[in-house]
Amino acid sequence: MPIGLPQPGLGEILIDGQPVRFASPLEARRSGIETVYQDLALADQLTVWQNVFLNRELTWGPKGIGILRRAEMRRRSQDLVQRLAVNVPSATRTVKRLSGGQRQAIAIARAVMWSRQFVIMDEPTAALGLRETAQVEDLIRRIVDEGTSVLIISHNFEQVMRLAQQVWVMRAGEVVNGERVSDISGVELVAQVTGAAGMPPSTEALTAGPADREAN
């Protein structure tokens, strides 16, 4: 669910150490927080570049006219997919003609382009096969290496262990633990999620720095 749609009843959200409260998902986007949804939120009938700039179209001309700068949007989208090594033939390709992995890569690339703080990914490989999952995971590693912070929401514990540096465990809507992935095993992670480990609620999960890349 997008940040800003549900309103928090307790606690606070900090960005660069400053408390923020979003009245809508649009406000969260304006603060540089991007989301890759499980359903991708792509328009199948539009091209790659049109999806990248959807609702953020570049225009020129007198105020109120807004003539589209199509060539620039196509160029910037093509540069984006090439920089991230996204396996897409062309930014002019219609999204409906792409594979599931290519669509996922476009949704991630779009988020990276507009993010200034971090990217939230909801089950980024849930509907993909093994090969496409590996390709998307490689893309996630590349954008993290470039300096983008990523928070992954996933029930794939093996993927969490492969990708995450910090993990927060939630059970029944509560954060029950937070640890560096290097300090926890996959078996322990499953036990904490299922409640078999009997972990008490921990405040450590709420004190990670903004530079951490996480998964829960």
Tell me which DSSP letter residue 117 carries: S
Residue 70 maps to a domain: yes
Considering the domain boundaries, does residue 206 fall inside one?
no
Q: Say if residue 6's pLDDT is above 60.
A: yes
What pLDDT is attached to residue 137? 93
Task: Say how far apart CA 63 and CA 132 lie, in whole Å.
Answer: 44
Sequence-separated (6 or more) residues with CB below 8 Å from residue 6: none
94: which DSSP letter?
B
Intra-chain end-to-end CA distance of the chain, in Å: 15
pLDDT at residue 199 is higher than 60: no
Distance from C-alpha of 17 to C-alpha of 19, rounded to nearest angstrom: 7
What is the pLDDT at residue 56?
92
Task: Confirm whether 74 is domain-assigned.
Answer: yes
Query: 10 Å Cβ neighbour count for 39?
Result: 10
Q: What number is the average pLDDT over the span 13-22?
A: 87
What is residue 198's predicted lDDT score, i.e. its pLDDT?
A: 54
In a domain, 94, yes or no: yes
Six-digit token pair at 59?
A: 């225009």
Structural domain contains residue 201 = no
**Residues ≥6 apart with Cβ < 8 Å to 37:** 107, 122
Tell me how far apart the alpha carbons of residues 41 and 107 are, in angstroms, rounded to a whole number. 8
Whether the CB-CB separation of 66 and 59 falls below 8 Å is answered with: yes
Domain count along the chain: 1
Is residue 183 predicted with pLDDT exceeding 90?
yes
Domain of residue 69 covers 37-148
Q: Which pair of structure tokens corresponds to residue 214?
A: 């996480």
Phi, psi of 12 (to 5 degrees): -150, 160
Domain contains 81? yes
Q: What is the DSSP string of 41-66?
A: T--TTSBHHHHHTTT---EESSTTT-
pLDDT over 60 (residue 212): no
Measured CA to CA, the distance from residue 209 to residue 212 in angstroms comes to 6
Q: Residue 117: inside a domain, yes or no? A: yes
Dihedrals phi, psi of 59, to nearest 5 degrees? -135, 165
Q: Is 9 part of a structural domain of the chain?
A: no
pTM of the model: 0.81
Q: Any idea what the CATH number is for the domain that residue 54 is in? A: 3.40.50.300
Return the DSSP state at 195.
T
Burial 20-32 (b: 16+ CB within 10 A, else e): eebeeeeebbeee
Highest mean pLDDT among 37-51, 57-71, 169-183: 37-51
